[in-house]
A and B are shown apart, each in its own frame.
Chain A
């Protein structure tokens, strides 16, 4: 494995289960005596409930309980408030409000749960919920970020700090200057599977949970803290997830409430929220306004760059993301400053959404790079190459690996970049304008700590275990490939068990970090098994007795001398002869000093061709090529799928997705899948994915960096840049809907 050979494409290990319906999602678990919970949400965004009438609901058929702030069972771990956040450390500075679900008649955001109704069937719970009527005392609500930009506060933590190198405002002295504002609307994850939880108290202090979480261990910890019980007595199961995209990255207050209610009524309780509640109860990509100030000399060298972002958060919790980070290290620019602020509004708290803040920031930075290239009369790729950096200018250290130049070149060839005309609006096919655009994306390549266990049996089969949840990218498939590479066990003899806290601890599935983290743990435990096999072979009588361990190779169930394959022993035979029916290895894996010595990032380049109808303003992405420089690709087939999914999300971000609030009421006006437009098949052309597929020498033994985020980061910018190339119109506010092109025409 030291040389990290390229991996063959293998089928998704859970593909058959998924397409046949055998894969079981949380809501498909049914338990005896199970009850159903339905949430009633506030109809106002700010104010107080003067009265809530639950009498009718309580008397409705099948109702087992109606819970409001008047009778919500206590959540013991929440008695001593930890600040503004239900499941984490207190924020700095302190937030204005505290939100505890069903603890007060105070309303802090639209859709805030005001009652949770439990009945013996989902239908009866839904009906009873509809009978609950609240009388509100409405207060003016602040939901429009654009109106309250001046209220921005500097959040605590590393992400909140202002950054500066070189001379501030150096861009002002540059011969060519650019200043532009970019906005990202509220986007909602909207995975197909709805959010929820099934909670079952199997004993006084014993809890079984089926949840829609991206991290079973995280949910286990959150519940242990909330209910003051030993995490060991809480089992959380999430083997399959119908799309997470970030909404399952935390335990939401309503999940904890369901657990409390299940204890109170003494029955298992299942909650599955309504689609409209996906807009209010499980986070969103925050509305963000950005300004880029850029200066370049006439040779196309960046002189100064400033990036400021202001994003919305809730009144009761500070949410931050790495919106301006890319600007700090992407280009060789001596004078760079960034500034990040948040504005507390009467809104539910945001959460990371695929690509998170980096996707928001990349849209601004990479649009601005395109605008500047145009001002300079330079090809956008050439402009990026003139400002290319081989070392990380933010941390003054080398990148662990960076093959971005190759990515630019490969993507340009695949899209037919030479067909791009530098003069905007000068390429037509019939009535349609044609344009080409490109953009760069980047995201941290992490190496988190993770545990794994592997069991090799004498029958030649291997079981690999980790608590990690596979939210869809093909984690199980990648882990299979890694185990196969180390131990040579055939793919179909490897079983991966995941998504349950009874398995070795693993980090939350997120941050494009799981192949690196859990994959390394699997690599390590499989390597330990291999080492033991080799020891058995060389230390005992047999064909390999006395051989040097490093001279041996392991493949297809055979241990042999690499230079003399006739000297060999079957692993099964070796194990049986030593009366070892199983070799069982567990362990923790984490990165070493290289994490400090190198800057580790994945990179992507997106190329698109668009067609724009100048009469109707309709934009179609007609070609898309995405190139990933994410180290060695462990599972090429699922990695390509992940890339295709990210680009599809990117098309939505660029052209269609926007959750709209009527700020007079503080309420969404398009909180359903008919009016909130995720990209559909007809919006998505064939997507070409290209992998540089060169191992990163420092991050982990596989040489693999993350994929999930960079598939989306930058894509929207590529579309906006292509629209400019097609039309000469620059749209800086996403999504690029027909009205915007007609307005700027």
Chain B
């Protein structure tokens, strides 16, 4: 662990200023992931900027839906009456994540910013392009340990089947983000050049040649809040998380489903998967296919086949090529109450 400085700020402006001042500076919120990364020397920060005192923890009703402050705790969001009533998928996804203790510390913004759980990323003696990028530089990250991808040809049971690159096949570990991606969330951020809004599905990115970049935030940008638009999916929502044990385990595959139904017909669908890609994997093509279809096993099987277009296994994770479509079928059955 390298010695770092610590400052606490009380306004977003001061937070942004503190981060752009020098490289190697990180926002510190719940700390449930960042502190581990520091202790294990996966990241070597120069400075941590404590943002927990910023007034960004509110969950409120808006004209178009709800707005969740970036510093709202995972447990506060999952327990919030508005969320439970209008966005049960989000509450289910949050409660499927981590443990009660972690959910009491972890924030919405921090959840979005958490790093992959890939073993090679976490062990600086092992090769990892995400931790130790080949193209390093001031805004591209500093090398830390050997470059390469340990997971390709190695222990990749937990890894991506969609959108991987020759440089990285890590997955984003969040459950919450799968729900937010499915529910058309938008992310409000502030940076040195002012505020902007990013569609949630554009917030995380695929690894490509720059696996060190998990998302599309620009240097110094701070997440302020997440907006969720009102929808008609509450009654037919389900979050299915398939994992190695019943609690406190990352997803092998997870599926977030929100449907608008008319009798037995699917009028509108929202679908995203977790544990399969470097970002929450939204399935827009499948959503379009499901529109107007009867909620039958045949429909679900067709949807599952369509969902797997472009999927690729890397050996130990080949089972996900079976598990992912099966999980999708299972989740659709539950959401449509045809199980």
Q: Is B245 an interface residue (CB 8 A)?
A: yes
Cβ A431 vs Cβ B330 within 8 A: yes
| Residue in B117, B153, B246, B327 whose CB lies within 8 Å of A620 | B246
The residue that A615 contacts in the complex, of B1, B123, B326, with Cβ under 8 A, is B326
Contact B245 A682 (CB under 8 A): yes
Closest A residue to B339 by CB, please name it.
A431
Known: A431-B330, A615-B327. A677 touches B155 (CB 8 A): no
Q: Let me know if B105 is at the binding interface, CB within 8 A.
A: no
Spot the interface stretch: A211-219, A407-415, A449-457, A667-675: A667-675
Question: How far apart are the CA atoms of A665 and B155 in the complex, in Å?
Answer: 11
Q: Which residue of B lies closest to A618 (CB)?
A: B242
| A739 and B155 contacting across the interface, CB-CB below 8 Å | no
A737 interface residue, CB < 8 Å from B? yes
Q: Closest residue of chain B to A621, judged by CB?
A: B246
Contact A739 B326, beta carbon cutoff 8 Å: no
Does B263 reach chain A (CB closer than 8 Å)?
A: no
Least Cβ–Cβ distance between A419 and chain B, in angstroms: 23
Identify the closest chain A residue to B317 (Cβ). A739
Q: Residue A488 at the B interface, CB < 8 A? A: no
Minimal Cβ-Cβ distance residue in A for B323? A742
Cα A743 to Cα B320 in complex, Å, equals 10
| B326 lies within 8 A of A682 (CB) | no
Give Cα A683–Cα B248 distance, bound, in whole angstroms.
11
Establish whether residues B252 and A130, one from each chain, have CB atoms under 8 Å apart when the complex forms. no
Q: Residue of B at shortest CB range from A745?
A: B322
In the complex formed, the residue of A with least CB distance to B248 is A680
Residues on A with beta carbons closer than 8 Å to the beta carbon of B126: 662, 665, 667
Q: Indicate if the CB atoms of A675 and B247 lie closer than 8 Å.
A: no
The answer, yes or no, to whether A664 is at the interface (CB within 8 Å) is yes
Chain A residue nearest in CB terms to B240? A616
Asked if B6 lies at the interface with its beta carbon under 8 angstroms from chain A, I say no
**B155 to A738, Cβ gap below 8 A?**
no
- Nearest to B155 among chain A residues (CB) is A669
Which of B1, B117, B120, B150 interacts with A674 by CB under 8 Å?
B117
Q: Find residues 232-246 in chain B having any chain A CB closer than 8 Å to their own CB.
A: 240, 242, 244-246
- A679 and B247 CA atoms in complex are apart in Å by 9
Which B residues are CB-close (under 8 A) to A677?
A: 244-245, 249
Contact B252 A738 (CB under 8 A): yes
B146-179, CB < 8 A from A = 150, 153-155, 157
Q: Which residue of A lies closest to B1 (CB)?
A: A130
Q: How far is it, in angstroms, between the C-alpha of A126 and the C-alpha of B247 when the chains are bound?
A: 31
Which of A127, A615, A680, A737 lies in contact with B246, CB distance below 8 A? A680
Distance in angstroms from B182 CB to nearest chain A CB is 19
Residues of B within 8 A of A743 (CB): 318-319
Q: Is the CB of B242 within 8 A of A616?
A: yes
Cross-chain contact B323 with A738 (CB below 8 angstroms): yes
A residues less than 8 Å from B117 (CB atoms)? 674-675
CA distance A660 to B154 in the complex (A): 11
Partner pick for A739 among B150, B153, B247, B252, CB 8 A cutoff: B252
A737 adjacent to B244 (CB under 8 Å): yes
Say what secondary structure dominates the interface of chain B: loop
Asked if A87 is an interface residue, CB under 8 A from chain B, the answer is no
Within 8 A of B (CB), among A30-74: 43
Name the contact of B245 in the complex, choosing from A126, A615, A669, A680 (C-beta under 8 A).
A680
Across the two chains, which residue of chain A brings its CB closest to B325? A615
**B333 touches A (CB below 8 Å):** yes
Shortest C-beta distance, B240 to chain A (Å), equals 8
CB contact list, A665-705 vs B, under 8 A = 665, 667, 669-670, 674-675, 677, 679-683
Distance (whole angstroms) from the CB of B18 to the closest CB of chain A: 24
Interface centre among A618, A656, A664 (most CB of B within 10 A): A618
CA distance in complex: A126, B327 (Å):
44
Whether B252 contacts A674 by the Cβ 8 Å rule is no
Contact B1 A682 (CB under 8 A): no
Is B48 in the interface zone, CB < 8 Å from A? no
Q: Cβ of B154: which chain A residues have Cβ within 8 Å of it?
A: 662, 664, 669
B114 CB–A CB distance under 8 Å: no
Give the complex CA separation of A737 and B244 in angstroms: 6
Is A175 located at the chain interface by the 8 A CB criterion?
Answer: no
B333: which A residues are within 8 A, CB to CB?
A: 431
CB-defined contacts of B1 to chain A, threshold 8 Å: 126-127, 130
**Contact string against B for A residues 604-636, beta-carbon threshold 8 Å, 1 for contact and 0 otherwise:** 000000000101111010000000000000000
How near does chain A come to B4, taking the closest CB pair, in angstroms? 12
Complex contact A739–B245 (CB within 8 A): no
Docked Cα-Cα span, A683 to B247, in Å, equals 8
C-alpha gap A667/B146 in the complex (Å): 15
**B residues near A742, Cβ cutoff 8 Å:** 319, 322-323, 326
A613 and B330: CB pair below 8 A?
yes
| Interface residue B136 (Cβ < 8 Å from any Cβ of A) | no
| Bound: A126/B323 CA distance, A | 42
Q: Within the complex, what minimum Cβ distance (angstroms) separates B43 from chain A? A: 13
In the assembled complex, B184 has its CB within 8 A of some CB on chain A: no
Q: Which residue of B lies closest to A660 (CB)?
A: B155
Bound-state CA distance A128–B246 (Å) is: 39
- Cβ-defined contact, B125 with A667, below 8 A: yes
| CB-defined contacts of B268 to chain A, threshold 8 Å | none
B residues in contact with A616, CB < 8 Å: 240, 242, 323, 326-327, 330
Partner of A682, one of B125, B242, B246, B250: B246
Interface string of A711-737 (1 = CB under 8 A from B): 000000000000000000000000001
Task: Return A743 CB to nearest CB of chain B, in Å.
Answer: 6
In the complex the two chains form, what is the Cα distance from A613 to B327 in whole Å? Answer: 10
Q: Does A89 contact B (CB under 8 A)?
A: no
A277 CB, min distance to chain B CBs, angstroms = 13
- Measured in the bound complex, the distance between the Cα atoms of B158 and A560 in whole Å is 71
- State in angstroms the CA–CA spacing of A677 and B250 once bound together: 11
Q: Kindly report which residue of chain A lies nearest to residue B145, judged by CB atoms.
A: A43
- What is the 8 Å Cβ interface bit string for chain B, positions 303-339, against chain A (1 contact, 0 not)? 0000000000000001100110011011001000001
Please report the C-alpha to C-alpha distance between residue A445 and residue B248 in the assembled complex, in whole angstroms: 37
By the criterion CB–CB under 8 Å, are B327 and A679 in contact? no
Asked whether any CB of chain B lies closer than 8 Å to the CB of A115, the reply is no
Contacts of B123 in A (CB 8 A): 667, 669
A260 within 8 A of B: no
Q: Which of A669, A674, A737, A742 has the most CB of B within 10 A?
A: A669
A682→B330 contact, CB < 8 A: no
Bound Cα distance A338, B130 (Å): 49
| B119 contacts the other chain (CB 8 A) | yes
**A494, CB-defined interface residue at 8 Å:** no
A21 interface hit (Cβ, 8 Å): no
A683 touches B245 (CB 8 A): yes
For B244, the chain A residues whose CB sits under 8 A away are 655-656, 677, 737-738
Contact partner, A617, options B125, B153, B157, B323, Cβ 8 Å: B323
| Segment 96-154 of A: residues with Cβ below 8 Å from B | 126-127, 130
Contact partners of B240 in chain A: CB under 8 A: 616
If the complex has contacts A662-B150, A674-B117, A679-B245, are A739 and B157 also in contact, measured as CB distance less than 8 A? yes
Asked if B41 lies at the interface with its beta carbon under 8 angstroms from chain A, I say yes
CA distance A203 to B322 in the complex (A): 66
Does A430 belong to the interface (CB within 8 Å)?
yes
**CA A670 to CA B245, docked complex, whole Å:** 15
Nearest chain A residue, comparing its CB with the CB of B118? A669
The docked-state distance in angstroms from the alpha carbon of A431 to that of B331 is: 12
Which residues of A (581-625) have their CB < 8 Å from a CB of B?
Answer: 613, 615-618, 620
5 contacts between A and B (CB under 8 A): A127-B3, A664-B154, A669-B155, A683-B245, A737-B244
Interface residues of A (CB under 8 A from B): 43, 126-127, 130, 430-431, 613, 615-618, 620, 655-656, 660, 662, 664-665, 667, 669-670, 674-675, 677, 679-683, 737-739, 742-743, 745
Give me the 3 closest cross-chain CB pairs, A-B, nearest first.
A682-B246, A669-B119, A739-B319
Residues in chain B within 8 A of chain A (CB atoms) = 1, 3, 41, 117, 119-120, 123, 125-126, 150, 153-155, 157, 240, 242, 244-250, 252, 318-319, 322-323, 326-327, 329-330, 333, 339
Beyond the given A617-B242, A656-B245, A682-B245, please list 9 additional residue pairs across the A-B interface where CB-CB is below 8 A: A613-B330, A617-B323, A664-B154, A665-B125, A670-B119, A674-B249, A679-B245, A682-B247, A742-B322
